[in-house]
Amino acid sequence: MRIIDHFVAGGGLAPATRPDVGRWGDVFDPNLGEVQARVPLGDAAVLEAAVQAALGAQPAWAATNPQRRARVMFRFKELVEQNIDALAHMLSVEHGKVLADSKGDIQRGLEVIEFACGIPHLLKGEYTQGAGPGIDVCSMRTPLGIGAGITPFNFPAMIPMWMFGVAIACGNAFILKPSERDPSVPVRLAELMLEAGAPEGILQVVHGDKEMVDAILDHPAIKAVSFVGSSDIAHYVYRRGVEAGKRVQAMGGAKNHGIVMPDADLDQVVADLAGAAFGSAGERCMALPVVVPVGDKTADALRSKLIPAIAALRVGVSTDTGAHYGPVVNAAHKQRVENWIRTGVDEGAELVVDGRGFTLQGHEKGFFIGPTLFDRVTPDMSAYKEEIFGPVLQIVRAPDFETAVRLPSQHQYGNGVAIFTRNGHAAREFAARVEVGMVGINVPIPVPVAYHSFGGWKRSGFGDHNQHGMEGVRFWTRVKTVTQRWPDGPSPERGAEDGAAARVQDAFVIPTMG
């Protein structure tokens, strides 16, 4: 049985070669429904070994000039690109997403690494000459020390790189706790970072469940925590981390809406929905699981086009290059999604296409779910209120534009939203009024580019800083402001004794800047 060990510097841990000792998690092959590896579920002792290694490495790394740190990021980017095929295969056979999605997962992470390569410019502070008589003021961004990331199963490459890329470039050490469901890629990324020239202890990986999460949130040497996962856990992480005096950004769940105006190009909308709702088996926080056509005429036309498009989707094993999407991550998640489909039926929604019971020949034990379509879903249904996180698309009919704005604005989640229209005024009005953190206009998955920031509102995001972009730089650093004066010495008109007395007197006066 393959063992996926912790990646902790300095030999602080014995190799995890005894699956009969301690607590362990199973890593499945979602295509076959079989265990392919095991991962140790670490505790506070494992974390302490990683923290001690980080404490030893971080001061010298912070003292390394930003240009040299940038060179490590450039080299890391090159190594990931050279290994992208192997990384994508590793990701697909543990997560279940098809190879094209796995490469996209890695590429979107690399875009943040590219952003982090510009860290010499990003860390430039502010300077004011002559803020007062002979007084200059400057500010500088300094690293926090040790940061930590707790990442979900659905993007095991992208989200870790979103976090550690900026944190490490800013001069911090970083401890990553990835999902125990698909931990191989995060470990491999840490190995590549070491190969790129980062010192041992700057990027480490520890595995675990709630026990490890609590140890991270409680450890006094860890100054900041970034989290992505479900909203209930995000709220827990935020609250416990803040109570422990940490800086915390915690991204939660989502229920993203796609508004379809009567003037929209329905063929393009259907093509976009096929990827946005069903791609990666719907296991994306930026998926588009709710479509809101405005007016029954629009809804009927959209539905008639969606049905054949869904029938044409090909569900296959994650290494099948012709498949549109693969299995979900494990049996428990498959059961959860199917339970939500049953709940939708019980609540009175019209089940147009039922993906339950889907099997693939030769992979009958795999965690596959066929594409599912509901119509006439209403806002009072729990299947609408909650995140399903599977290949399920719901049609919620809106009689008018005002209702279409109100639906996502009043939802408990506020991660992303999209509007499909040819009308510039309607798009502008919608973007200005909707209460959601990320808006797409004729863009079904509005994930911002790396030099902007990612983050939702309401129960989709807890904390004051978003992921990556300058928001990420601000999160992983703190500002130090220096006010300085360089006196010229005694005045020529006064003797040394008078000058010394004047300097003592001046020391009791706070300099004015005006």
The residues annotated as belonging to the active site are: 285
Helix 210-218 with 231-243: angle, nearest 10 deg: 30
Compute the distance between CA of residue 291 and CA of residue 302 in angstroms, rounded to an integer. Answer: 10
Compute the distance between CA of residue 438 and CA of residue 105 in angstroms, rounded to an integer. Answer: 19
Q: Considering only CA atoms, which of 368, 323, 280 is closest in space to residue 29?
A: 368
Q: Which residue do the tokens 């989200």 mark?
A: 159
Judging by DSSP bridges, how do beta strands 222-228 and 146-150 pair with one another?
parallel
List CB contacts of 498: < 8 A, sequence separation 6 or more: 490, 491
Task: Tell me the residue length of the chain.
Answer: 514
Compute the distance between CA of residue 398 and CA of residue 163 in angstroms, rounded to an integer. Answer: 38
Compute the distance between CA of residue 159 and CA of residue 144 in angstroms, rounded to an integer. Answer: 20
Q: Considering only CA atoms, which of 228, 201, 116, 114 is closest in space to residue 190?
A: 201
**DSSP secondary-structure letter at 171?**
T
- Strand, helix or coil for residue 209: coil
Q: Which residue do the tokens 């039922």 mark?
A: 354
> In b/e form, how buried is each residue of 36-58, taking b as 16+ CB within 10 angstroms?
bbbbbbbbbebbebbbbbbeebb
**Cβ pair 148, 216 in contact under 8 A:** yes
How far, CA to CA in Å, does 391 sit from each of 155, 384, 448?
Answer: 16, 14, 23
Compute the distance between CA of residue 404 and CA of residue 423 in angstroms, rounded to an integer. Answer: 15
Which one-letter amino acid corresponds to residue 277?
Answer: A
DSSP E strands in 331-436: the ranges are 350-353, 372-375, 392-395, 413-414, 416-420
Q: Considering only CA atoms, which of 345, 407, 405 is closest in space to residue 373?
A: 345
Six token digits for residue 106: 């890695």
Interior CA angle at 245 toward 241 and 248, to 5°? 45
Compute the distance between CA of residue 46 and CA of residue 8 in angstroms, rounded to an integer. Answer: 8
Q: Residue 242 CB: number of other CB atoms within 10 A?
A: 16
Interior CA angle at 244 toward 57 and 219, to 5°? 35
- Strand, helix or coil for residue 370: coil
Compute the distance between CA of residue 285 and CA of residue 295 in angstroms, rounded to an integer. Answer: 27
Helix 66-82 with 184-195: angle, nearest 10 deg: 130
Compute the distance between CA of residue 76 and CA of residue 113 in angstroms, rounded to an integer. Answer: 8
